[in-house]
């Protein structure tokens, strides 16, 4: 599992049925590279999370019917951000819109 | 399989139910840090062997376990420089 920081939410109305109504989050790694992951836990902007990749990402959604290859596995309780995080200036605690 | 060194435990209260209460560890593979499920019981500083892909799921307990990196063994000794 890789460690990443949530940098934003993502709205995507036109999606394939296989993606169902999964919440999507934009994540960045310490180098600043951005990726999108499905989010079954409800992570907020600024949270550090670990992500499950590959086929395990589908099981991590609780149902292998979700067509995803990257899923947030959980929120890290304590994480001292390594070398000045990539992520855009932290738009402090703007609660990611629920659902 | 990858050779990694265990750095520290990772505390995550808010996790998906699929992870159950298994221990998660931050492991270092060279300079990159990753999170692995601990199937053997290791401590910080241990050199370990990690498996990925679908073997990681089965090694963590069942085919449905959502792991993509699982620690499957503690290395007694090896030549780090080799």
Domain of residue B51, residue span? 2-12+20-74
Give the tokens for residue B37. 């499920």
CATH of the domain at B32: 2.40.50.220
- Interface check A83 vs B, CB under 8 A: no
Q: What superfamily would CATH give domain A2-75?
A: EutN/Ccml (2.40.50.220)
pLDDT for position B31: 87
For B25-79, write each residue's pLDDT tens digit. Answer: 999 998 899 999 999 999 999 999 999 988 999 999 899 999 999 999 999 988 8
Residues from B in contact with A at Cβ < 8 Å: 10-19, 24, 26, 33-36, 52-54, 56-57, 64-69
Among the residue ranges A61-70, A81-90, B40-49, the one predicted with the least confidence is A81-90
**Residue B79, domain member (yes or no):** no
Query: Within chain B, how many helices (H) and strands (E) appear?
Result: 1, 5
**Residue B82, domain member (yes or no):** no
Does position A80 have pLDDT exceeding 80, yes or no?
yes
ipTM comes to: 0.80
- The phi, psi pair for A62, rounded to 5°, reads 90, -5
Quick one: pLDDT band at residue A87, thresholds 50, 70, 90? very low
The answer to whether A28 and A48 have CB atoms below 8 angstroms apart is no
Contact state of B12 with A74 under an 8 Å Cβ cutoff: yes
pLDDT for position A93: 45
**Residue B81, domain member (yes or no):** no
Does position A94 have pLDDT exceeding 60, yes or no?
no
By Cβ distance, the residue of A1, A40, A82 closest to B69 is A1
Does position A36 have pLDDT exceeding 90, yes or no?
yes
Domain locations in chain A?
A: 2-75
DSSP A35-67: EEEE-SS-PPTT-EEEEEETTHHHHHTTSTTS-
């Amino acid at each position: 599992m890789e460690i990443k920081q949530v940098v934003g939410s993502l709205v995507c109305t036109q999606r394939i049925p296989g993606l169902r109504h999964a919440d999507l989050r934009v994540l960045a790694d310490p180098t600043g590279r951005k990726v999108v992951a499905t989010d079954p836990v409800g992570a907020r902007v600024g949270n550090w999370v670990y992500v499950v990749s590959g086929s395990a990402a589908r099981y991590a959604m609780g149902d292998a019917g979700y067509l995803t290859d990257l899923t947030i596995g959980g929120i890290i309780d304590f994480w001292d951000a390594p070398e000045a995080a990539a992520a855009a200036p932290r738009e402090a605690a703007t609660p990611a819109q629920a659902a | 399989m990858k050779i990694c060194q265990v750095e520290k435990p990772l505390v995550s209260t808010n996790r998906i139910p699929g992870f159950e209460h298994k221990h998660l560890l931050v492991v270092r593979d060279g300079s990159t840090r990753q999170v692995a499920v601990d199937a053997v019981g290791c401590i910080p500083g241990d050199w370990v062997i990690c498996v990925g892909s679908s073997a990681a799921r089965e090694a963590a307990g069942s085919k449905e376990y959502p792991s993509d990196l699982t620690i499957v063994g503690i290395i007694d000794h090896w030549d780090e420089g080799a």
